[in-house]
Structure 1
Amino acid sequence: MEWEDEAFVLSARVHGETGAIVELLTQDRGKFAAHVSGAASRRMKPFLQAGAKVIARYRARMSDQLGAATLEPIGEGPSSLFDEPLALSGLSAAAAVAAGALPEREAHPGAFHALEALITALAIPEIWPAVYVRFEAGLLQDLGFGLDLSKCAATGSLDDLVYISPRTGRAVSRAAGAPYHDKLLPLPPFMLSAQGGLAEGDVGAGLDITGHFLEQFVFHPLNKPLPPARVWLLDRLGEAGRL
């Protein structure tokens, strides 16, 4: 089995004296793990960081075996964010969520492109937390658990959608949700439209929504909690006043 593809590094763990098992999110083949030789070298360490974009060349004797890969960096990778610890926290959380949520060897190009869009946005402090929320919403969509924000679940109304049902992931209008508002999740406007502005509390509300459905539909069935990096991101955004 051989292939070549663009990929983002999701994680790397030491294997042997100089190698590593690297988890990749590829553009066309989904999540793949591979053994990478020489991973401990100074030359390779920078592009084995979570979020590094690479050309991966993979080879395995049999399709169901762990194969070996060589990696060639594309661009400067996450090193450009080393002076932005909050953005690095966002990148670490995204990589951990993708690594934990995506199945092995199943194509998810939507997840690849959502991660790519987030990594591009990380250079813009004003917008990336909202893009992070959209990344998680896109991941849910790609896994078959997309949120339905098109109309009110109760009335079919297209207007004044301000809640989302924590049970179904469907939007609810202000009027229909008023009697049950304490049982619904607030729906920030930016999740309805790319042009929606950000108000205080919107990012936190968005992260509450995507975190709830990732737990309910993805991680709980796998007997996993949300990744610690995702929990820490919420804490750090709160400390920075960015929720």
Structure 2
Amino acid sequence: MKRRRRPTKKPKNPPRPPRFSRAWFLDWGRTAVLVTLFLILSRTFLMATFVIDSGSMEETLLVGDFVLVNKVSLGAPIPFTNSNFPGYAQPEHGDIIVFRADHSPGLDIVKRTVGLPGDTLRMDGGILYRNGVAIDEPYVRRNPRIPDSFDPKMLWQADYLLPELSRDTYRPTRDNWGPITVPEARYFMMGDNRDDSFDSRSWGFVERRKMQGTPLFLYYSYDREALKPFRFLTAMRPGRIGPPPR
């Protein structure tokens, strides 16, 4: 006769430590440390949040938009170094990118990529030309009430003018400048709100290693200028939540 096997007893889960005991505090402490490490690593290497607080990218991105940034796409910066982790993409014309600003250390800003290394750029009457070809930019917003004028902050461009142009007589304005050539490992970034954007025209090129990532989607939006109490809740813009405009 075959012997029946006795069912094996499942090991019992260890009893939970009494609340507020030393073991209870240790368990919660370990959990808190692990969660904190996960959030730090995610924030540093994977994803980051970004809040639009200027109108330089209107109407593409509005003041009060909350954006989740993909830091993996371009390769997150390696802390305490001048290098980046390998990304799966490279900046392309028209890409919206979050990057660390040289003109304001510690500040991350967002602009659109209009010039890659080796491109020759100029603007004539507010129209952007890249390598001699006028660029169709349906996302650009203009304000004819803001007059064009000479901007001394743009004189840095004289060092990148084509050789046949005179640096001594160069008088760039917001809507008329160049032609200049983008150097290696540098990018020219501009805001979509062209007449109200502090961008590469004034403070220069962006280094590749300073790029933080690309917008993944808008996870919240509200009108910060609405004349309502508790604007964060009463002035929500739910129709903007989703993939960011390109």
Determine if the TM-score, normalized by the shorter chain, exceeds 0.5.
Answer: no
TM range (shorter): under 0.3
Calculate the TM-score normalised by the size of structure 1.
0.25
Answer 1 or 2: higher relative contact order, Cα 8 Å, separation at least 6.
2
Return the index of the structure with the highest Cα Rg: 2
Q: Looking at secondary structure, tell me which structure has more helix per residue.
A: 1
